Amino acid sequence: MTRLFGTDGIRGIAGEFPLDQKTLVKLGQSLARHLATRSHRNQDPLRVVLGRDTRASGEWIEEALVSGLVDSGADALTLGVIPTPGVAYLLQQYEADAGIVISASHNPYQDNGIKIFAPDGQKIPEQLEAAIEADLSQSQPLPSAIDQSTRPGGRERVSADPYLSWLEKRVADGLRLDGWRVVIDCANGAASYIAPTLFSSLGASVDVLHANPTGKNINLACGAVHPEALQARVLATNAHIGLAFDGDADRLIAVDERGEVLDGDHLLYLLASHQVQTGQVQAPIVVASVMSNFGLERALQSLQLTLVRTPVGDKPILDELLRRGGSLGGEQSGHLILPRISLAGDGMVTALEVLRAAVAAGQPLSVLAGGMVRFPQRLLNLRVNRKPPLETLPELQAALDSAVALLGEEGRILVRYSGTEPIVRLMVEASEESLLEQVLNPVAGVLENLLSR
């Protein structure tokens, strides 16, 4: 059986399996079928809310999913274009059994994807993902778990306004941005219809970039992945801060008043420092993925906080936050989670909290983030002919032991396989470039000898 769900749902080229119309109809049917067997709502009709970003393929993908849901007796509540975390929030407001987001996040417009949320705002569990994958692997039609003779499914367009209201009145409660010059880059994506209104409502002078989606310009040389235009505009307008969202607005990359990019690691440090100063720390940890820079680990130590690392992806980060009672976690990409506010990574929430910290401190962003100094990093992607478990390779383990001893407390080394490509990834971080090279080259040579020849 083909594994379709990755670290952030199903992703692929729109129109090709598994994002072809036939498979998407079946996905809607499968989700409704399994929700019906698991639902605690007794005789109430199943409800699924759907939102999408601005990709040209979003509308027909939505139609296919709605068709499958309605055919299986579920009510489909469509929100139109909305940030991914908006769906996670609104599915609770509309008392839905699941939420579907049609988006490929930071990918180009040709791609699209499916993210499915449970009623608590988290991604659906792996067991449900596996059950849907099993259904999609079958060639025969799926049996319905709903008695359609009793009540057919229906479709309804519902408002996304409660999400904006929640951001303005609850998340931003007490925050005023009068006198602040803010530049926002909406990536021609889902933030285009909400971010300008949100930050203007708080009193900021807002300069908006890339908020004219055409269906084909999402993430195109703009947004969180390409903040160059934002950097230039911040400097040209003498702005206090720049905020860059990705296509579905669950990520945030900031630009400080000097035009310097602040990625997710910088923002984690900034927010952790604010939480320490304001007594909001619930447990003395910050959770991040294995890809976060070693400089973050060092900076957090100065705050008496421990960096807990997880595999890549928001699901393992959230799981660890909930397990340990942490108040902050996220990825270097800018996908941050503040579980006290929301269990979904939300670029709008992150931006509001960063601004709250800056307003409270009364200091420039460069000063607030300056306590985190990035360690030099080198990442190599080496093609491999096979993927034996790394721990079964004694020569590699010996090379890694030597590397760890050489680095000591001045860096770290990480080796892992790509989950989708014939590639092994080698990452080394060290306090000095010379030390980095000393560690990198021997381990890279061993990997090539063992796996690429």
> Counting Cβ atoms within 10 Å, is residue 372 exposed (0-12), middle (13-18) or buried (19+)?
buried
CA distances from 41 to 44, 64, 94, 279 (A): 5, 25, 13, 39
CA distances from residue 54 to 16, 46, 190, 218, 394 in whole angstroms, order as listed = 19, 27, 6, 7, 49
**Which element (helix H / strand E) includes 155?**
strand 155-157
* Residue 105 falls in the annotated catalytic set: yes
Instruction: Find out whether 335 and 83 touch, Cβ atoms under 8 Å.
Output: no
- The catalytic position among 30, 72, 103, 105 is 105
Nearest alpha carbon to residue 360 among 173, 175, 169, 167: 175
Exposure string of 262-297, with b = 16+ CB inside 10 Å and e = fewer, is bbbbbbbbbbbbbbeeeeebeeebbbbbebbbbbbb
Torsions phi, psi for 252 (to 5 deg): -140, 130
Residue type (1 letter), 138: Q
Integer Cα distance of 453 and 448 in angstroms:
7
Phi/psi at 374 (nearest 5 deg)? -70, 130
Of 310, 240, 298, nearest in space to 431 by CA: 298
Q: CA 46 to CA 36: how far, in whole Å? A: 7
Task: Enumerate the active-site residues.
Answer: 105
